[in-house]
Amino acid sequence: MPTNMLKYVIIATGALFAVLIMAYVILNKKMQKSEYQQIKKLRQGTKSNNFSFEVLYQKLYITYSKIPFLKAYILKLRRRLEILNVDDEYVTRRDSAKILSRVLLIIIPIITGSIILAHTNYLTLSIILIFEIFMVDNFIDNMVDKMDNNLLKEQLEFFAEIRHAYHEFNMVEEAIYQISQDDEKNISKQGEKIYEVLIANDPETELEKYYDIAPNPYLKEFAGISYLTKEFGDRKVDKTSLYLKNVSNITEEMQIEILKRDKIDYVFQSLSIISIVPVLGLEPLKNWAVGNFSFTQSFYSGKGGMVVQILIILLTVICYLLLRKVKNNGSTDKSTQNTQNPWQEKVYKNPIGKKIVNLFVPKKGTKDYIKVQKLLKDSASKLKMEWLYVNRITVAIVTLLVSLFLFVQLHKVAVNWVYTEPTTDYNIMTGLTGNDLAQAQAVTESDNKFLDMFKGKINTTEQDIITAMEKSKDYSDSTEEDIQKAAERVYKKLQKINKEVLGWFEVLLAVIFMVLAYMSPIWLMMFQLKMRMMEMEDEVMQFQTIILMLMRIERVNVEIILEWLERYANIFKEPISRCVNNYESGAWEALEVMRNETNYPLFIRIVESLQAAVEKIPIRDAFDELDSDRDYYQAKRRESNDRLISRKAMIGKVIGFAPMVVMFVGYLIVPLVFIGLTSMSSSMTSIQ
């Protein structure tokens, strides 16, 4: 029976296997004849086996958005790239992830190198790592500036093609539409946006919206001129289309700006790195000096070396921030700060925080309030008065705490050096080696036992140490003279250790540093104001170009010119805005107030010409010299830009090389010479 059952099971299994094979063959033949093969071919045609960076950047963007630290940087990048990409979410995400990935590829090796070089000095390492975090902002700014400069160069080609298209179609909107069909260029997106503005039902309102998102003033000028030409028509001036002549004026402005940016980038391309090098070179320089001149070990391992390190790091941070202010070439708006609900606003909304801040904020209407408010406006700061004082108070408190912490750490460093310094009765210029070093370290270890015994006991006398030594096994075979000599040595060390406590003078220094830190935001805005003042002449010459474009267009009046100047103004924005607001109550009087508020001669000359155009003569006659002396003003502007770049280069070089000079002079040459002479003098005395 079992044999028959086994036979039946084998037969059934074989039959089932044969049925499965037949079913597979039949289904395979049917699938070959059906639409399955067509679907398979379509899938293979759309499937890509190659690696795609586009997909990778989209995935990286999502990943970066989930990481707390990187999320803040990716959002900053978004706010700046959205302007360049005109609401193209895919491209904005791709460019954001691409820039941040490149920054990480640069900064991670630097951080790794810092950890390797300064891993033994935790204080210096922590400061360097914090500072390198701020370097990320600089890398991001440089990469976004590069994209903005590329957009500006694309505009040159775009405007050149506009000229040909306008000759062909003789319609502004049609010419812009035809040239904007190239999807590979960023400028094409801007052209499409301007075209949508021109054909909108309410183009004036849409134009005002575009002014808020335009990536640079030259596209604003182009959009505005295109709108005015479409509304009021074009006409011939000196046998040339007025619209094309204005486009040429904008092109000349862009060419001057591109040359200016290229020169500034060339001057400052290495200064930021030069200002950072001292921070990264502190530990290698210290190791080299100690390795070649061992008598400097006492300086670099003691309090003096730590103080110089902290000063160099602090100077490097200050110079790095100032360099960014000096280099600022006015391209894409650098302000990526959240002005809707920043952390300052959250602090100020807190009842306790609001009470504390209000104690420092000057009362409205007072002289101090007006002075600070004017400084905020003149320096183009986006901070509110309350936010500024939140920053000042926060920086002051952090500086006080950090100063006290550093003073405590300095005392620990000094105490640690007393415990670790090899103990000898003489100085050797070349340092200790071999048996001499082992004996010196043995003496140090023996002294440390008695230092631990009497540490913190201020009333300890030399006799107490002698008594302890006589009872110690280390001096069981020593003579009274040896014990006396050792006790004197330990007593001197003990006095050094007991003095290394936080004193009133250091607390006073911390308070002074706190006051300086409290004033630093104001001083930084003053420095930024000085840098903006250097741009005055360049801005006034931009005003001249705008007036030159507008003065020959029909129906353009002084009020329209003022509105255009307000739109593109930076340094003179406040007085022009007040003039526009007061224009209805009296045109000449509003211009006179603006004239009295400024003291820059070239700007005053423009205001006087506007006053003449209000009451006496037409606009084209009031500014006739702008057209007749166009070549002179262009040459003057180029010369002015050269002088501006030279001044910035001089200031930048002084600031950029300051940390390097201080590092070599203060951290290497001075200690080397001073300690070398001191050691030599002590050695000569010992020999005598």
Residue-wise pLDDT for 222-254, tens only, equals 888 888 888 888 888 777 888 888 888 888 888
Distance CA 304, CA 202 (A): 70
Domain boundary residue, one of 533, 567, 582: 533
pLDDT given for residue 349 in this prediction: 84
The answer to the question of residue 30 being in a domain is no
The pLDDT assigned to 19 comes to 61
Same-domain status, 436 and 399: yes
Among 153, 182, 212, the domain-final residue is 212
CA distance 181 to 179: 6
pLDDT digits (tens, 9 = 90+) for 523-533: 888 887 777 77
pLDDT per residue as tens digits for the range 624-637: 777 666 677 777 77
In a domain, 554, yes or no: yes
How much is the pLDDT for 652? Answer: 85
What pLDDT shows up at residue 594? Answer: 86
Name the pLDDT band for 330 (thresholds 50, 70, 90).
very low
pLDDT tens-digit profile of 251-296? 888 888 888 888 888 888 778 778 877 877 777 888 888 777 777 7
Give CB contacts under 8 A, 24+ apart, made by 166-171: 166/241, 166/243, 166/244
* Residue 200: strand, helix, or coil: coil
* 48 falls within a domain: no
pLDDT at 336: 44
Q: How far apart are CA 515 and CA 644, in angstroms?
A: 34
Pick the most confident of 41-50, 55-64, 386-395, 465-474.
386-395
Q: Is 431 left (phi over 0), alpha (psi -120 to 50) or beta?
A: left
For residue 415, give the amino acid letter: V
Cα dihedral across residues 38, 42, 45, 51: positive or negative? negative
Q: How confident is the model at residue 39 (pLDDT cuts 50, 70, 90)?
A: very low
Domain assignment of residue 401, yes or no: yes
CA 125 from centroid of its chain's CA atoms: 21
What does the mean pLDDT of the chain come to?
Answer: 78
Residue 39 lies in a domain: no
> What is the distance of C-alpha 423 from the center of its chain?
48
Instruction: Please say if the pLDDT value at position 333 is more than 50.
Output: no
User: What residue type is 310 in one-letter code?
Assistant: I
Domain that holds residue 207: 54-212
Q: What is the model's pLDDT at position 334? A: 45
Taking residues 144-159, what's their average pLDDT? 86
Question: For 560-615, how does the pLDDT look when each residue is reduced to its tens digit (9 = 90+)?
Answer: 888 888 888 888 888 888 888 888 888 888 888 888 877 778 888 888 888 888 87
Highest mean pLDDT among 86-95, 130-139, 544-553: 544-553
Report H helices in 67-215: 68-85, 89-117, 122-169, 172-179, 186-198, 203-213
Q: What is the pLDDT of residue 332?
A: 38
Helical residues (DSSP H) of 170-216, grouped into ranges: 172-179, 186-198, 203-213
In the predicted model, is pLDDT for residue 25 greater than 70?
A: no
Query: Would you state the structure tokens that stand for residue 11, as one six-digit string?
Result: 């037969």
Residue 654 has pLDDT above 60, yes or no: yes
Same domain, 456 and 600: no
Q: Are residues 419 and 347 in the same domain?
A: yes
668: in domain: no
Is the pLDDT score of 5 beyond 60? no
**Residues 575 and 448 occupy one common structural domain:** no
The pLDDT, as a whole number, for residue 424 is: 65
User: Residue 237, SS3?
Assistant: strand
Give the span between the Cα atoms of 442 and 449, in whole angstroms: 11
Judge if 445 and 588 occupy the same domain.
Answer: no
Tokens at residue 473, please? 């096994």
Residues 527 and 554 in one domain: no
Q: Which residue has the higher pLDDT, 683 or 347?
A: 347
> Over 80: is that where the pLDDT of 131 sits?
no
Asked whether the predicted pLDDT for residue 45 surpasses 60, the reply is no
Query: Among 5-9, 44-48, 384-388, 472-476, whose mean pLDDT is lowest?
Result: 44-48
Q: How many CA atoms lie within 13 A of 238 on its CB side?
A: 7
Kindly tell me if the per-residue pLDDT of 383 is higher than 60: yes
**Is residue 334 a part of any domain in this protein?**
no
Average pLDDT over residues 543-552: 84
Cβ(111)–Cβ(97) under 8 Å?
no
pTM over 0.75: no
pLDDT over threshold 60, residue 433: no
- Do 81 and 121 belong together in one domain? yes
| Cα four-point dihedral sign 681, 683, 684, 688 | positive
Specify whether 439 is located in the same domain as 551. no
Contact present, 525 and 376 (Cβ < 8 Å): yes
**Domain-located, residue 557:** yes
Residues 542 and 579 in one domain: yes
Q: Are residues 520 and 408 in the same domain?
A: yes
Mark whether 79 and 185 lie in a shared domain. yes
Binned at pLDDT 50, 70 and 90, residue 323 comes out as confident
Number of domains composing the chain: 3
Measure the CA–CA gap between 262 and 269, rounded to whole angstroms: 10
Taking residues 92-106, report their average pLDDT.
84
**Domain end call among 533, 553, 578:** 533
CA pair distance 424, 440, nearest whole angstrom: 6
Give CA torsion, residues 407, 412, 417, 418, to 10 deg: 110
Are 372 and 381 in contact by the 8 Å Cβ rule? The answer is: no
The residues with which 241 forms a beta bridge, in sequence order, are 236
What size, in residues, is the chain?
A: 688
- Give 5's Cβ-side CA count (13 Å radius): 2
Cα distance between residue 53 and residue 59, in whole Å: 10
Tens-digit pLDDT profile for residues 50-76: 556 778 888 888 888 888 878 888 888
The answer on pLDDT for 110 being more than 80 is no
Evaluate if residue 686 carries a pLDDT over 70.
no
Task: Judge if 377 and 433 occupy the same domain.
Answer: yes
pLDDT over 80 (residue 94): yes
